[in-house]
Each structure stands twice: as C-alpha cells, then as structure tokens.
Amino acid sequence: MARSLRSIAFNFFYWTSTAIAVLAGLIVAVIPSGQPLRWVLHNWARLTVWAMRVLGGMHIEVRGREHMPVVGPALIASKHQSECDGTIMAALIPDIAFVAMKELFSWPLIGAILYRLDMIRVDTCGGERERRNLATFARRAIEAHRVLTIYPEGHLMPIGDKERYRTGIYYMSRDLGLPVVPVATCVGLLWERWSFWKTPGKAAIEFLPPIAASADKDAFMRQLEDTIEAATAGLVTEFTGQPYRLARYAPRSEPATDRTAALAASATDP
C-alpha cells in the first residue's frame, strides 16, 4: 500500500511538473539564446530528483564525482536502465547535450524542445551516413563546451540484460580527441523501464575513471563495455544482496559484428 501511494503521489507530481516545464520551455524557446531553455531543463530535472526522494522514497547516491565533468568539452557514455537516467544527468550537469533516438524528436512539443536544446538526433540502426551526422553535431556541441552524453546500447535495458554497444562513441572520442567517462547505474531497481509503479529504496549511479581516446576501436569498445557492465553488476549486487552476475546479452537489434554475434550465440547456450 505504501509503495502504491508513493508511486501515485510521485507520478502526479512528476507529470504535472513536466507539463508545466514543457509549457515554460515552449515560451522561452523563442529567445535567441538557448540558455534560458537549458535553465528550465536543469531545474526541472533537479525538482524531479527531489520528488523522487521526498515523494517516491527513491534515494539516489552519486559516486565518483571526481570523474564527473560539470563543464565541457567532455564525453559521457552511460548504462541506460530507466526513463529517469537522463533526468538525473540533467540535474547534475547544467549544460548537457544528449544523443537521443530520432523517434523522440517526432513527439509533439517535446520534439520542438529537443531541437531547440540542440540535442543530437541519431538513428540507432547506424550506418556511415548516420555516423557522419553524429560527428557533425557532436563537434558542434563540443565546440560550444557542452558535456555530450550518449547511451551506447541505444535502448533501455532491464536489470541483468545488455545490448551490443554501438561504436558511435568510439568515433566521437577518436575524432574529437577526448576521453570518455563511463557511467554505471542500478537506478532501474527503483524505477523500472516503462513502469508506473516505483520502488522506494536506495540505488546509485557511479562515474568511473575516464577511458582515453584510442586508435584501436575493438580494444576501446571492449574496455568501455567491460568497465560499465562490471561496475553496474557490482552496484546491483550491493543494493540487492544477490550474487554478482554480469548482464546477459539480450539483443533488441541484429548483431553487427563478430563479437556481438558471438555474444548472441553464447546467450542461447545452456
């Protein structure tokens, strides 16, 4: 009963404050500078994190702040388990730019705000053309000294699952000459993807030591994936008391490399 009441109270507050923030965003979007709109996003995100704690009973610990880039230019690659992942990032980092799925840009009102915030649209199916588009807009964000955040799996993944890691983050790091800050999380324990019901409790996100830009794509991607997945599994173990277990490969798109094909095959082995 307590969980239900907390969820209802939080969701009512969340959707009401979001609607108000969207309206405010549409009003300030006419201002030539994008800074007022970013202020709205940052403070709406901070208010949401406050409501998660006070109304929803969801206490989020932030670890590794010494690795967290507050100002850019910087690159972040994060695990993605919950709709609130981006909200927490926006609450922590005032001038953040996200790489978001192109479908979000077609949403009424929200799409217009994402465009005005100079968020980066990407087709998760990838391809050479998409890579060039990503490179162009990423460079623009970095030249504006923003913190660029990407979810390399391209999908919300439930606790215990992972997708293949897309290589867009590698090319951004290589071409821009910037290290990548990996981020692990277990927030999905409290706010499961697409779930109305929230679970009161504790969880954490963790900023990990940066990974240097590299000329070796396979080594870079292996280090990024292994670092994020190992730290995420550690957080899940810590906050649930369950045995340590790395996430299983659960593809939501077709494997694109020999490495991901092998992962897909191993996931079906008894």
CB under 8 Å to 18, separation ≥6 — which residues? 44, 48
**DSSP per position, 83-117:** TTHHHHHHHH-TTEEEEEEGGGGGSTTHHHHHHHT
Distance of alpha carbon 101 from alpha carbon 110, whole angstroms? 13
Amino acid occupying residue 186: C
Does an H or E element contain 184, and which?
A: strand 180-185
What pLDDT is recorded for position 30? 78
What pLDDT is recorded for position 36? 85
Tokens of 26: 């549409």
Burial class (CB in 10 A: 0-12, 13-18, 19+), 66: exposed
What pLDDT is recorded for position 125? 55
How many Å from the N-terminal Cα to the C-terminal Cα in the chain? 40
Give the residue from 132, 166, 158, 159 showing the smallest Cα distance to 253.
Answer: 166
| CATH code of the region 58-267 | 3.40.1130
What pLDDT is recorded for position 34? 75
Q: List, as own/partner pairs, every contact residues 8-13 make where C-beta atoms lie below 8 angstroms and the sequence separation is at least 24, other chains included.
A: 9/55, 9/56, 10/51, 10/52, 10/55, 10/56, 10/198, 11/196, 11/198, 13/51, 13/55
Q: How many residues does the chain have?
A: 270
Distance of alpha carbon 206 from alpha carbon 212, whole angstroms? 18
pLDDT tens for the chain, residues 1 to 270: 667 889 999 999 999 999 999 899 888 877 877 788 889 989 999 999 999 999 999 999 999 999 999 888 999 999 999 989 999 999 999 888 888 665 555 566 666 676 666 667 666 555 566 667 677 777 877 888 889 999 999 888 999 999 999 988 998 899 889 999 999 999 999 999 888 999 999 999 999 999 999 999 999 999 999 999 999 999 999 999 999 999 999 887 655 444 444 444 444 343
Q: Domain map of the chain by residue range?
A: 58-267
What pLDDT is recorded for position 239? 97
